[in-house]
Amino acid sequence: MRRVVFILYPGFEILDLAGPLQVFDESEKRGHEVEILICGIHDSVRSEQGLVAAELAPPPRFEASDWVFIPGHTVGKVPIPRELVSTVKEAARAGSRIISACSGAFVLGEAGLLDGKSCTTHWRRVDELRDRFPRAKVQDDRLFIEDGNVVTCGGCACGIDLALYLIDLEKGPVFASKVARELIVFLRRDSGHPQTSVYLDYRSHDNPGVHAVQDWLVENQAKPAGIEDLARMGGMSVRNFARAFREATGTTPGEYRTLLRLERAMIMLNNPGMTVEAVAAECGFPDARSLRRQWKKRYGLSPRRKEA
């Protein structure tokens, strides 16, 4: 059971808590074995927006498997509490993954966790973070950055993207995409990923048969299935299915399957231990040559990873 620990303090930004919290709550409902803890440096704290969080538990005894979230605050309005800095240091010493949303990066900086680390924060505060913590490698225009056990992200809503990314790492892209779809948000794989996703695109229609086929294709990207098989899943004849699928999605079943496989390949190619051949087999391409051909057709270049 992984613990996801939110540490609240006076002046915290409510969206920095509510966004990731909602993501992990939905993930837990879908079978992700997480324990969500909402803690505070005091038993009652008021957010920047005036909402009071009361009856808060104290921070737990941290473990290496914990994910510890630090929400942002209005920088300069109130000093960062010393108790909060001490709590973050304690979690870091335990080996927990320390995650800040928005200006929560300043808390990590005060705890000395940004020294020598690549990091980011809200775009309005990037220069201030760089000036205040000159040993940090502050980067502009990034959704979020993971450097070792330290994870930082940009503006308030990026906490949602970051939570989905962490779920993706632990439960896989298909599981994460289902959480994203339930929350009606885009799933971004990493900070450099395009802001759209094939797992959510092509789904803005109300044809239940086509949705059923799309769900199967997402879950079974490497399994063979002909047009007859897909039509049967959708409860239609081959001719009606082909027409309905194009009308609903704007593409063909074959093209849609290729897009799914390419998106999965994009994630797997981030693993330096996998060759292009291994990725191709895992994603359902006939061979590495087919993957390279489709990749170049889609992205205008070849996948740059080591060959077998």
Which residues lie closer than 8 Å to 100 by C-beta, 6 or more apart? 69, 70, 71, 72, 107, 108, 121, 151, 152, 153
**Residue that has been written with the tokens 């803890």 in this structure:** 37
pLDDT at 234 over 80: yes
Percent of the chain with pLDDT over 90: 59
Q: Of all residues in the chain, what percent are helix, strand and coil, respectively (each to 5)?
A: 45, 15, 40
2-175: CATH class: alpha beta
Tokens representing 70 are 């630090």
> What crossing angle do the helices spanning 158-171 and 173-183 adopt, rounded to 10°?
150
pLDDT classification of 249: cutoffs 50, 70, 90: very high
213-226 tens-digit pLDDT: 998 998 888 888 99
252-267 tens-digit pLDDT: 999 999 999 998 888 7
Tokens representing 129 are 């973070």
Domain assignments of the chain as residue spans, ordered by start: 2-175, 202-308
CA torsion sign for 231, 232, 236, 239 is positive
* Rounded-to-integer distance, Cα 106 and Cα 186, Å: 27
pLDDT at 306 over 80: no
Which residues lie closer than 8 Å to 109 by C-beta, 6 or more apart? 129, 132, 133, 136
* Rounded-to-integer distance, Cα 188 and Cα 79, Å: 33
8 within 8 A of 71, measured Cβ to Cβ: yes
pLDDT at 270 over 80: no
pLDDT classification of 19: cutoffs 50, 70, 90: very high
pLDDT at 308 over 70: no
Torsion angle defined by CA atoms of residues 107, 97, 199 and 303, in that order, rounded to the nearest 10 degrees:
100
pLDDT classification of 188: cutoffs 50, 70, 90: low
pLDDT at 187 over 70: no
**What letter represents residue 210's amino acid?**
V
Tell me how long the chain is: 308
- CA-based Rg of the chain, rounded to a whole angstrom? 22
> What crossing angle do the helices spanning 238-249 and 253-268 adopt, rounded to 10°?
60
Torsion angle defined by CA atoms of residues 137, 138, 140 and 144, in that order, rounded to the nearest 10 degrees:
90
> What crossing angle do the helices spanning 288-299 and 253-268 adopt, rounded to 10°?
100
pLDDT at 32 over 50: yes
**What average pLDDT score do residues 69-98 get?**
93
Mean pLDDT score across all residues of the chain: 88
Among 2, 145, 139, which Cα is nearest to 60's? 2
13 within 8 A of 47, measured Cβ to Cβ: yes
Name the CATH topology of 202-308: Arc Repressor Mutant, subunit A (1.10.10)
Least confident range of 11-15, 80-84, 98-102, 192-196: 192-196
For residue 108, how many other CB atoms are within 10 A of its CB? Answer: 28
Supply the pLDDT for residue 305.
43
